[in-house]
Amino acid sequence: MTGRVAIITGAARGIGAATVRALAADGWSVLAVDCADDDEAIPYRLGTKAELDAVVAETAALADRADRIGSFVADVRDPEALAAAVAVAESRWGGLDAAIGCAGVIAGGLPQWDVPLGQERAVLDIDLGGVLNLARAAVPALLRRPAPRSGRFLAVASAAATRGLPMLAAYCAAKAGVAGLIRALAVELGSTGVTANAVSPGSTDTPILAASARLYDLASPQDFAAHQPAGRLLAPAEIAAVLAFLAGPASSGMTGAVIPADGGLAL
């Protein structure tokens, strides 16, 4: 995949960070994007600039190509910031071949009508609005590659896109929206050579899962493992591996797909 360029949001930790590593290992140039700041509406600590820098430094060292890995601080709720990130990737490496929306948060812990409005809006604006904003900024860049193209627009949905999870209504709504967006983009992109797909993880060992455990008053995120036929939590690298496949040439026959990588949770 040498010469291919990707932008990845939510890159400071979790699935986003693992995807930066996976694509870099495959020879991609990667711009790792994260808001790198907390949000007062979200009841847990978000990724930091130090964590984003550490992901970039570690990945650059492993890839032995520091010039092929970069970072950019942007909130996915800000379309102009994402457009600026895309412009940086294009100017630095000559174009864009994949945009991967991994940024996400979770909040709730109450029936939908009792969840603070600020929390509900933050979940919807980041988890769904952030993917919409990424598409608005990145798809035109993917289409700027000359034909025949092989661009990829990818997003992280969730098993919550198809399951009703109590006290997480906004999260379920946002992830269902991501799945619907991917299907619509696939049709709109048609025969351009650019595809749109998503991955739906199950319970994955990330800060979002730890926050979910606290919302449900569980002793540990490991308590979620019993709900997956696989009997364990997934690792972020396992989700990143699916995203890396979808970003590559072997997925050329797939578009509009929402791929479960959930340890059987959706069964």
- The set of catalytic residues is 171
In order of 33, 160, 167, the CA distances from 2 in angstroms are: 20, 35, 44
In order of 28, 108, 189, the CA distances from 208 in angstroms are: 27, 12, 31
User: Mind giving me the DSSP string for 94-133?
Assistant: S---EEEE--------S-GGGS-HHHHHHHHHHHTHHHHH
Q: How far apart are the first and last CA of the chain?
A: 34
| Four-residue CA torsion sign, 129, 130, 132, 133 | positive
Q: How far is CA 3 from the centre of its chain?
A: 22
Nearest alpha carbon to residue 138 among 184, 85, 77? 85
Q: Name the residue type at position 234.
A: L
Give the count of alpha carbons within 13 A of 18, CB side only.
Answer: 18
Compute the distance between CA of residue 168 and CA of residue 96 in angstroms, rounded to an integer: 34
